[in-house]
């Protein structure tokens, strides 16, 4: 049995701890050790973006990071977007504008869009397209997602 290392992270505001091998990917740690299966495993080499989370407030791929590297970090996953039983404005906009079908890419899309809107609260359509090009969607053809992110940008500015 390989050596197990302790990993302490704050996920969605909650302090969590687990023990895993050094080679365990952060996304697998979230899903298997912490039971947070909202973050999806897609390509496992940093291309598809389904596993995107916020790492210390910035979007990053959790499939090309080791869990041990996250020790001490603050993470935000899709489970942490809702507040007080209400959907996040981005989630609301995705529902309203048909920004998802199968839902596989959605967690990654949401966290990527959140980072995009924090760094650029008033993106142009071209900037939204560029921003979400970090995540692959194989159902909706992106159109609804773009509309949703634009709507969320407006909603977040007025809220």
Partner 1 sequence: MKPPKFDYHAPASLEEALALLQRYGGDAKVLAGGQSLMPLLNFRLSRPAALVDLNRIPSLAYVREHDGQLRLGAMTRQRTIEFSPMVAQKLPLLREATKWVGHLPIRTRGTIGGSIAHADPSAEYPAVLTALEGEVVARGPNGERVVKAKDLFHTYLTTSLAPEEILVEVRIPAMPAGAGYALEEFARRHGDFAIVGVAALIVREGRRCRQARLATAGTGPVPVRLRAAEEILEGDGLSDSAIEAAARRASELVSPDSDIHASAEYRRHLTGVLTKRALRRAMGVARG
Q: Please tell me the distance from the alpha carbon of residue 148 to that of residue 58, in angstroms, as a whole number.
A: 20
Q: Is 133 in the site for partner 1 (CB under 8 A)?
A: yes
Q: Is 134 in the site for partner 1 (CB under 8 A)?
A: yes
Q: Please tell me the distance from the alpha carbon of residue 16 to that of residue 138, in angstroms, as a whole number.
A: 33
Among 39, 112, 128, 149, binds partner 1 (CB under 8 A): 112
Q: Is 6 in the site for partner 1 (CB under 8 A)?
A: no
Residue 112 makes CB contacts below 8 A (sequence gap 6+) with 49, 52, 59, 131, 132, 134, 135
Complex with partner 1: residue 61 or 147, whichever CB lies closer: 61
Q: Are 122 and 153 in contact (CB under 8 A)?
A: yes
Q: Is 100 in the site for partner 1 (CB under 8 A)?
A: no
The backbone torsions φ and ψ at residue 113, rounded to the nearest 5 degrees and listed phi first, read: -65, -35
Q: Please tell me the distance from the alpha carbon of residue 130 to that of residue 99, in angstroms, as a whole number.
A: 16
Among 4, 6, 58, 139, binds partner 1 (CB under 8 A): 58
Q: Are 78 and 111 in contact (CB under 8 A)?
A: yes
Binding window for partner 1 (CB under 8 A); candidates: 8-16, 65-73, 76-84, 149-157: 65-73
Complex with partner 1: residue 98 or 139, whichever CB lies closer: 139
Q: Is 117 in the site for partner 1 (CB under 8 A)?
A: no
Residues engaged in binding partner 1 (CB under 8 A): 2, 5, 21-25, 28, 44-46, 49, 52, 55, 58-61, 63-66, 68-69, 112, 115-116, 119, 130-131, 133-134
């Amino acid at each position: 049995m390989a050596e197990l290392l302790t990993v302490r992270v704050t996920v969605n505001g909650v302090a969590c701890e687990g023990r895993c091998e050094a080679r365990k990917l952060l996304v697998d740690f979230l899903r298997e050790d912490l039971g947070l299966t909202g973050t999806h495993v897609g390509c496992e080499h940093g291309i598809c973006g389904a596993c995107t989370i916020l790492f210390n407030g910035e979007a990053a791929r959790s499939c090309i990071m080791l869990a041990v590297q996250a020790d001490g970090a603050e993470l935000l996953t899709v489970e942490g977007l809702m507040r007080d039983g209400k959907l996040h404005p981005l989630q609301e906009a995705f529902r309203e504008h048909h920004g998802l079908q199968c839902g596989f890419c959605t967690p990654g899309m949401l966290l990527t869009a959140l980072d995009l809107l924090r760094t650029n609260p008033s993106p142009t359509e071209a900037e939204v397209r560029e921003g979400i090009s970090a995540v692959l969607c194989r159902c909706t053809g992106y159109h609804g997602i773009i509309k949703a992110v634009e709507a969320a940008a407006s909603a977040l500015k007025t809220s």
